[in-house]
Structure 1
Amino acid sequence: MTYLNQFDLSLWLMCDSYYHQHQTLCIQLQDEHQVNVNLLLLSLWLDKQGYLLTPTDWSQMKDEVHHWEERVLLPYRKLRKLSKNSLVDGEYQQMLEVELMLERKSQGLILHKLRQLPHEGNSSNLNVFLELYRLNADEYQQLAA
């Protein structure tokens, strides 16, 4: 089985596991530095698989995903956050579920792009990815543990 087939099968299981282990830090990176959490989780999974991408590959993937999310996911997330205090719990939960569906769409876009990329990198994906946001990876090594 190829890495990408494994990725396809285990994407949500592993990413959910990583996310729940580091949820507070993931949300902090998303809110304070606009880090794409799906790509962050992908970088962790790919590092564990030894599937290294180049800085150019990460930059292209980040740009493509951001373009889609900027038009769809991010405005919806902002609306959900603004609506939180004016909705009853059930309505707010429905908005969270729609956002999760949009996150899955984003992961589909990521997987499509990933299938087009060779694994020719020579540095940790987490390090390369965080450098795109001008973050020092040494400060976030607990993610890789």
Structure 2
Amino acid sequence: MTYFNQFDISLWQACDTYYFEHQALYLRLQDDHEVNINLLLLSIWLDKQAYQLLPQAWSTLTQEVRQWEERVLLPYRKLRKLSKNSLAEVEYQEMLDLELILERKSQALILHKLRLLPHEGTGSNFEILLDIYQLNSLDYLELAA
């Protein structure tokens, strides 16, 4: 099977399904542990495809995405959260919409980097990624089910 062809924006549709099943837990991981939800969703999707990345590949991917998000997405997200009580509902929604656009840009970056990474791994992507964030995957098994 050629995975390269599967690494397009459509894989995020499957990831959206995972996200909506446990949205509160994903957001808690993001807020409490700075877990990148897109990477966590990707790790689950890749495990379901039996496509394992090496731990070093996950480290590289995590670092590169983090660098981009620290420059663009994360400051904007912080501004949106700080502005919530100062904005009209329609203005706040516009900020949410722009944040979603930035999330999609992040997803495109992830897919671009993913295509360049070797996939000779043998372990669970989900476990490897949570280990990078120093979290025990056994505490979050409901996400990988």
TM-score range, shorter chain: over 0.9
Q: TM-score, normalised by structure 2?
A: 0.97
Show the counterpart of 1:29: 29
CA distance in 2, matches of 1:81, 1:11: 28
CA distance in 2, matches of 1:105, 1:9: 11
Q: Check whether the contact 2:40–2:126 (CA below 8 A) recurs between aligned residues.
A: yes
CA distance in 2, matches of 1:71, 1:122: 33
Query: Against the structure 1 CA distance between its residues 9 and 69, is the aligned structure 2 distance closer, same or farther, given a 3 Å change threshold?
Result: closer
Q: What is the number of residues matched between the two proteins?
A: 145
Q: Check whether the contact 2:52–2:123 (CA below 8 A) recurs between aligned residues.
A: yes
CA distance in 1, matches of 2:93, 2:3: 34
SS in 2 for 1:2: coil
CA distance in 1, matches of 2:93, 2:40: 25
* Identity over aligned pairs, percent: 66
Alignment of 1:10-89 (within 5 A): 10-89=10-89
Give runs of ≥4 in structure 1 deviating > 3 Å. Answer: none
* Amino acid paired to 2:29: L
Matched, 1:138 2:134: no
Structure 1, unmatched stretches of 5+, are none
CA distance in 2, matches of 1:33, 1:10: 27
Compare 7-16 and 34-43 and name the one that shifted more.
7-16
Matched, 1:2 2:18: no
